[in-house]
């Protein structure tokens, strides 16, 4: 499922990216069209201005032409006067020289027309305001740089800024200036938009953002669903384990009790009081074991109950620990173990629920005993803090790996031991301890090293300020 959804998600993302890219290229064409029409408009207006100027100049040209004519007139008048006075060949030669000179003057006057020169026609301020106006009219608000390139000179003859010299030449939009001028080497207007991509994206920010957001939401939902699935699977595995464990735990005492009671019906046994008492003791012990199992499961069930409430009273932790020790010492001694208690705290009284605190601390001591394969060496200590008491249970047992230390407080979690279940349990104890201690406003900590031992500590404040109403799940 993860693979399929991942593929679908990837394809969806790819399709989205494809569409967004498409949209961007359409937007770019649109942008280019706008720039083209703005520039065309500028070029057209510049041409118009030039034509207007030329026309107004032609008036002056006409006046100048009249001047030529009168100059020619006066020259020819002077020359014709001179013709009359020719007497010698030297006079003739002088006259010829003079007329050559006159001709040169006239040619000079008429040849005044020079080739088209852009600098003479293009006013940069006009170009600047025209360009700004046209881009504005076409809704292009992105920053730009522009310049005029003369192919005759082979270089830029004007630049609005020298920041984008190469970009202007390589990536700029290019338009021919004065296209109607019959010049073999035209001049070009170049415009470069350094933030073109940003401008395009800004235009499409809405679509892009929504696409990204949707994809993000889907990915997050997907991760969330996967997490739930994994969690559910683990939960169902844990539940199976729990049921197996419980069946196993209950089956032995039940069959023992049933065998013992059957034996008690036997007449020969009935007559032997010693045997009867033995069987009754077996039945009683097994019954206690069943009661213990039921109690443990009930503990877990009780704290899940919505109407769960505390009986707050003054609890002397030293007293309840002594009671627990009395009950559990036999189990420890059976394994040839020792149990010591250091009453380090001067103020061992806290406000809390006696029954639940007793159960919680008992769970820790039970664990210390259960998970010490050889000769348990259990040390109990209490210590005062300014606001509460810390009770620690230290053992020299099998220890817990760092990875498992995080999980042991989860309900039903037991450190996996392969198929070997030599130590019985449901994985309920520590989750119960954690819930109860936290409901008292305290906290549980664990320090442990594999094969060296563990130390579980509970810190219980003298009185918790927040009044717990219902437990966390
Ligand atoms: N003192 C300890 N030393 C080593 N491992 C421990 C110790 N205490 C707990 N553990 C590990 O943490 C797991 C969870 O403990 P927890 O008390 O919640 O469950 P349990 O002892 O298996 O069953 P239950 O307490 O419900 O009968 C245990 O299965 C065990 O692997
Ligand atoms: Mg336990």
Distance CA 138, CA 279 (A): 104
Q: Is the CB of 457 under 6 A from ligand 1?
A: no
Q: Are strands 187-192 and 338-343 parallel, antiparallel or unpaired?
A: unpaired
Ordered DSSP codes for 258-280: HHHHHHHHSHHHHH-HHHHHHHH
Q: Which residues, 6+ apart, have CB-to-CB distance to 160 below 8 Å?
A: 128, 145, 146, 147
Q: Is the CB of 398 under 6 A from ligand 1?
A: yes
**Ligand 1 atom closest to the CA of 428, numbered from 1:** 26
Q: Is the CB of 296 under 6 A from ligand 1?
A: yes
- Exposed / middle / buried, residue 186 (Cβ in 10 Å: 0-12, 13-18, 19+): middle
Distance CA 188, CA 177 (A): 5
Distance CA 369, CA 374 (A): 9
Indicate the pTM of the whole model. Answer: 0.57
CATH number, domain 309-461: 3.30.565.10
Residues of each domain in the chain carrying CATH 1.10.287.130: 205-300
Q: How many whole angstroms from 422 Cα to the centroid of ligand 1?
A: 13
Q: What are phi and psi of 182, to 5 degrees?
A: -80, 75
**Element (DSSP H or E) covering residue 301:** helix 273-304
Other beta carbons within 10 Å of 81: 9
pLDDT tens, the chain, 473 aa long = 788 888 988 898 899 889 888 988 998 999 999 999 999 999 999 888 888 887 887 777 777 778 778 877 887 787 787 777 778 888 888 888 877 887 777 776 665 555 667 777 788 888 999 999 999 999 888 899 999 998 888 888 888 888 888 888 888 899 998 887 767 788 899 999 999 888 888 888 888 888 889 889 988 998 999 999 999 998 898 888 888 888 888 998 999 999 999 999 988 888 888 989 999 999 999 999 899 888 888 887 877 777 777 888 999 999 999 999 998 998 899 999 999 999 999 999 999 999 899 999 999 999 999 999 989 999 999 999 999 999 999 999 999 999 999 999 998 888 887 655 578 888 889 999 999 999 999 999 999 999 999 999 999 999 876 544 444 43
Q: How many whole angstroms from 286 Cα to the centroid of ligand 1?
A: 22
| Ligand showing the shortest atom-to-Cα distance for residue 415 | 1
Q: Is the CB of 345 under 6 A from ligand 1?
A: no
| Ligand showing the shortest atom-to-Cα distance for residue 241 | 1
**Ligand 1 atom closest to the CA of 431, numbered from 1:** 18
Q: How many whole angstroms from 461 Cα to the centroid of ligand 1?
A: 25
Q: Is the CB of 426 under 6 A from ligand 1?
A: yes
Residues of each domain in the chain carrying CATH 3.30.565.10: 309-461
CATH class for domain 205-300?
Answer: mainly alpha
Q: How many whole angstroms from 352 Cα to the centroid of ligand 2?
A: 22
Do residues 371 and 396 touch, judged by C-beta distance below 8 A?
A: no
Q: Is the CB of 175 under 6 A from ligand 1?
A: no
Distance CA 28, CA 200 (A): 7
Q: Is the CB of 428 under 6 A from ligand 1?
A: yes
Which of 238, 427, 432 for a ligand 1 pocket mutation test, highest count of atoms within 8 Å of Cβ?
427
Q: How many whole angstroms from 371 Cα to the centroid of ligand 2?
A: 9
| Ligand showing the shortest atom-to-Cα distance for residue 246 | 1
- Give the three-state DSSP class for 47: helix
Give the closest residue (by CA) to ligand 1 atom 27.
Answer: 425
């Amino acid at each position: 499922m993860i693979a399929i959804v991942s593929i679908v998600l990837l394809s969806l993302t790819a399709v989205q990216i494809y569409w967004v890219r498409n949209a961007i290229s359409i937007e770019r064409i649109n942008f280019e069209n706008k720039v083209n029409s703005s520039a065309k408009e500028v070029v057209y207006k510049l041409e118009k201005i030039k034509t207007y100027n030329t026309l107004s100049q032609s008036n002056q040209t006409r006046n100048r032409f009249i001047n030529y004519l009168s100059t020619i007139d006066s020259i020819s008048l002077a020359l014709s006067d001179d013709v009359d006075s020719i007497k010698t060949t030297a006079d003739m030669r002088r006259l010829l020289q003079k007329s050559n000179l006159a001709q040169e003057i006239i040619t000079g006057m008429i040849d005044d027309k020079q080739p088209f020169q852009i600098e003479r026609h293009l006013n940069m301020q006009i170009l600047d305001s025209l360009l700004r106006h046209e881009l504005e009219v076409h809704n292009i608000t992105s920053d730009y740089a522009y310049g005029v390139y003369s192919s005759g000179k082979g270089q830029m003859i004007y630049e609005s800024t020298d920041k984008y010299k190469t970009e202007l030449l390589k990536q700029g939009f290019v338009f021919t200036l004065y296209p109607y001028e019959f010049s073999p080497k035209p001049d070009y207007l170049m415009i470069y938009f350094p933030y073109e991509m940003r401008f395009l994206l800004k235009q499409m920010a809405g679509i892009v953002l929504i696409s990204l957001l949707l994809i993000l939401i889907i990915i997050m939902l997907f991760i969330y669903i996967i997490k739930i699935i994994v969690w559910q699977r683990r939960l169902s595995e844990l539940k199976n384990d729990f049921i197996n464990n419980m069946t196993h735990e209950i089956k032995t005492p039940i069959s023992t009790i049933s065998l013992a009671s059957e034996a008690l019906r036997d007449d020969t046994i009935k007559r032997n009081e010693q045997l009867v008492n033995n069987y009754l003791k077996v039945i009683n012990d097994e019954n206690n074991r069943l009661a213990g199992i039921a109690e443990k499961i009930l503990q877990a069930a009780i704290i899940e109950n919505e109407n769960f409430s505390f009986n707050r009273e003054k609890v002397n932790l030293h007293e309840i620990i002594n009671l627990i020790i009395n009950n559990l010492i036999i189990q420890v001694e059976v394994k040839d173990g020792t149990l010591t208690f250091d009453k380090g705290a001067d103020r061992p009284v806290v406000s809390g629920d006696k029954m639940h605190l007793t159960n919680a601390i008992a769970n820790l001591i039970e664990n210390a005993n259960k998970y010490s394969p050889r000769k348990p060496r259990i040390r109990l200590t209490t210590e005062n803090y300014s606001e509460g008491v810390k009770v620690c249970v230290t053992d020299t047992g099998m220890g817990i790996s760092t990875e498992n230390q995080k999980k042991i407080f989860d309900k039903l979690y037991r450190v996996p031991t392969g198929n070997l279940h030599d130590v019985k349990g449901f994985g309920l104890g520590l989750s119960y301890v954690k819930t109860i201690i936290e409901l008292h406003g305290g906290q549980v900590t664990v320090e442990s090293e594999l094969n060296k031992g563990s130390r579980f500590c509970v810190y219980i404040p003298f009185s918790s300020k927040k009044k717990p109403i219902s437990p966390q799940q």
